[in-house]
Amino acid sequence: MSHEASQDNPYTRGIAQFVSSLSYDAIPAEVKARIKLLMLDALGCALYGADLEWSRMLQHTLTQVDASRTCNVWGTTRKLSAPHAALINGTQVQGFELDDVHRAGVLHVGAVVLPSLISITEMRPGMSGREFITAAVAGYEIGPRVGLCMRPDHLLQGWHSGATLGVFSSAAGAARALKLDVDKTVHALGIAGTQSAGLMAAQYGAMVKRMHAGRASQSGLYGALIAESGFTGSLTCWKATTAASAPPSRARTTVTT
């Protein structure tokens, strides 16, 4: 099997082309100004969220199982591996659901893009501010576009879009930060897409909904890092009839035990 992402996948590949070729100079001035505000907002939410009960639980638990001390847990003195830092930081941004939201795309974007992106800057120091902004814009752009295609039916079917769509925003931003080429970006999106998961049932009486953003950010980070090494993912995650973008059933399903 060829490892090149050369199959007939115009949607995934088109998005990968946009992500990998995006340049700072191509970003409109108003977008640059807006994304800086959105990032500050997300970081402020994370600092507030750091001391919430569910965030402290994750901080404590993951510190026990992760001996790495590479990436900061925002608002604390703790450091963890990049994937675990992304998991906690994304959870903290979404900790009280005060963060930015793309209404039409139904996605809290900063909570999934920034944790993975900032983890990469800590793993691999030296990224310029212009490159950081470019990678962030790539991530902020992609998830909501997928959400626009999914329509509100996605939520009505019981899926939490912050979890299911967030993986694509995270993967796109991380892939651009790592300067992956088009083929590897296709695989990063495919690897992230197969990890897409999250139930709206978590909204009621559970802490875990707040972790959905962190998990999506972590999954996108995994997708980009693993694709960088040559690992392959689905080439047609937005085209295959069994993919996330397949037309949803109109019936609402309730899972009971």
Domains and CATH numbers, the chain: 10-228 (1.10.4100.10)
Distance between CA atoms of residues 6 and 18, nearest Å: 16
Is pLDDT at 216 greater than 60 in this prediction? yes
Is pLDDT at 255 greater than 80 in this prediction? no
Contacts of 213 (CB under 8 A, 6+ apart): 90, 91, 93, 94, 108, 111, 112, 162, 163, 166
pLDDT confidence bin for 112, thresholds 50/70/90: very high
Read off φ and ψ for residue 123, nearest 5 degrees: -70, -35
Half-sphere exposure in the Cβ direction for 97 (13 Å, CA): 9
Q: What is the pLDDT of residue 254?
A: 37
Q: What is the pLDDT of residue 6?
A: 53
Is pLDDT at 37 greater than 90 in this prediction? yes
The pLDDT tens digits for 176-194 are 999 999 999 999 999 999 9
Distance between CA atoms of residues 122 and 98, nearest Å: 26
The pLDDT tens digits for 113-123 are 999 999 999 99
Kindly state the tokens that stand for 237: 């995650």
Q: What is the pLDDT of residue 124?
A: 96
Q: What is the pLDDT of residue 152?
A: 74
Is pLDDT at 1 greater than 70 in this prediction? no
Q: What is the pLDDT of residue 154?
A: 77
Tell which residue, 112, 43, 105, 96, has the closest CA to residue 210: 96
Output the CA–CA distances (angstroms, integers) from residue 218 to 156, 171, 240, in the order listed.
25, 9, 24
Three-state secondary-structure class, residue 234: coil
Q: What is the pLDDT of residue 163?
A: 85
| 13, 5 contact by CB (below 8 A) | yes
Q: Where are the beta strands (DSSP E) in 62-114?
A: 71-72, 79-80
Q: Average model confidence (pLDDT) for the chain? A: 88
- What single DSSP character describes residue 201? G
Q: For the whole model, what pTM was predicted? A: 0.89
pLDDT over 90, % of the chain: 67
Three-state secondary-structure class, residue 101: coil
Is pLDDT at 12 greater than 50 in this prediction? yes
pLDDT confidence bin for 257, thresholds 50/70/90: very low
Is pLDDT at 101 greater than 80 in this prediction? no
Q: What is the pLDDT of residue 53?
A: 96
- Of 44-48, 80-84, 139-143, 201-205, which range is least confident? 201-205
Q: What is the pLDDT of residue 240?
A: 58
